[in-house]
Amino acid sequence: MNVNIVKDKAAIAKMAYDIMLDMINSKDEVTLGLATGSSPEGIYELFRKNKPNVSHVTTVNLDEYIGLDAEHDQSYAYFMNKHLFHHLNFKQTFLPNGMNSDFAGECAHYDEILEENTPDLQLLGIGNNGHIAFNEPGMSFELTTNVAELAPATVEANSRYFASHDDVPKTAFSMGIKSIMQAKEILLIASGVGKAEAIKGMLEGPVTNQMPASILQQHPKVTVIIDEDAASLLSKK
Candidate list 61, 83, 106, 129, residue with the active-site label: 129
Is-catalytic flag, 72? Answer: no
Residue 233 lies in a domain: no
Active site (annotated) includes residue 129: yes
Buried (b) or exposed (e) across 104-131, using 16+ Cβ within 10 A? Answer: eebbebbbeebeebebbbbbbbbbbbbb
Does residue 234 sit within a domain?
A: no
- Of 64, 106, 120, 131, catalytic: 131
Residues 198-210: tens digit of each pLDDT:
999 999 999 999 9
63 a catalytic residue: yes
Q: Using alpha carbons only, how large is the chain's radius of gyration in Å?
A: 17
Q: According to the model, what pLDDT value does residue 237 have?
A: 63
Entry pTM: 0.95
List, for residues 17-42, the tens digit of each pLDDT value. Answer: 999 999 999 999 999 999 998 999 99
Q: Which of 64, 65, 54, 118 is nearest to 92 (CA)?
A: 54
CATH of the domain at 110: 3.40.50.1360
Active-site hit among 61, 63, 97, 158 = 63
Domain range enclosing 204: 2-227
Residue 237 lies in a domain: no
User: Is 23 a domain residue?
Assistant: yes
Catalytic, out of 64, 106, 136, 227? 136
148 assigned to some structural domain? yes
Domains in the chain: how many in total?
Answer: 1
